[in-house]
Chains A and B, each alone.
Chain A
Amino acid sequence: NAGVTQTPKFQVLKTGQSMTLQCAQDMNHNSMYWYRQDPGMGLRLIYYSASEGTTDKGEVPNGYNVSRLNKREFSLRLESAAPSQTSVYFCASSVGLATGNTIYFGEGSWLTVV
């Protein structure tokens, strides 16, 4: 089972460039999330989608946009990359947004902005 699949795995961007991180899940989950992980900061929520057709800001949304393309896919876009966006990005999904639902993570995307 693939679970949550993210692409690309690694990417180097120059400051000001744009890019989109792709995420797809095959578990028929309703809710999807984008987190970033930085040393000493743990995982921080960027954006989430409670269900198809809805998106909401998380803890650190500035500099990012998202699109819930369909039930399976949830993309994260950096319009004008900055060095502060160098991080590891994780897509995740869960059955629903209700408290207590297990969240399943992808393998991560390592992004470096120079």
Chain B
Amino acid sequence: QKEVEQDPGPLSVPEGAIVSLNCTYSNSAFQYFMWYRQYSRKGPELLMYTYSSGNKEDGRFTAQVDKSSKYISLFIRDSQPSDSATYLCAMSGTNAGGTSYGKLTFGQGTILTVHP
């Protein structure tokens, strides 16, 4: 079983729709949760960053973390064709001894297409 599971989609929605992207994870040591956006033939770029549980909003994007359920989400409101990309969740945390490590564990990525 992978440490981080993400539905690869593909997901196709009309312009203006609300998009929900999700990841589940098994490692309770994860404390830092990120969403990266990757356009075709490009490297991933950081979109949202959240520490521990809770919500974070940035414009049309909202990231939610529920550590009790080991579940994270990214919501995109009023989706635009320019949002068409692959969205990758990523996580990191401390080990049992409390030593931090910054290596990210990624989900498989969800391919999103927003059509006009």
Chain A residues close to B by CB (< 8 Å): 4, 31, 33, 40-45, 48, 58, 90, 92, 94, 96-108
Contact = CB atoms under 8 A, between A and B. Distances in A.
Contact of B6 (A31, A42, A99, A106): A42
B32 interface: yes
Nearest to B4: A42
A105 B44 contact: yes
Given A48-B103, A99-B32, A100-B92, A41 B108 contact: yes
B94 A99 contact: yes
Contacts of B103: 33, 45, 48, 58, 97
A99 B8 CA distance: 26
Given A42-B107, A42-B108, A96 B102 contact: yes
Given A42-B4, A45-B104, A103-B46, 20 more contacts: A42-B6, A42-B108, A43-B88, A43-B90, A43-B106, A97-B100, A97-B103, A99-B31, A99-B93, A99-B94, A99-B102, A100-B49, A100-B92, A100-B100, A100-B102, A101-B102, A102-B49, A105-B36, A106-B43, A108-B43
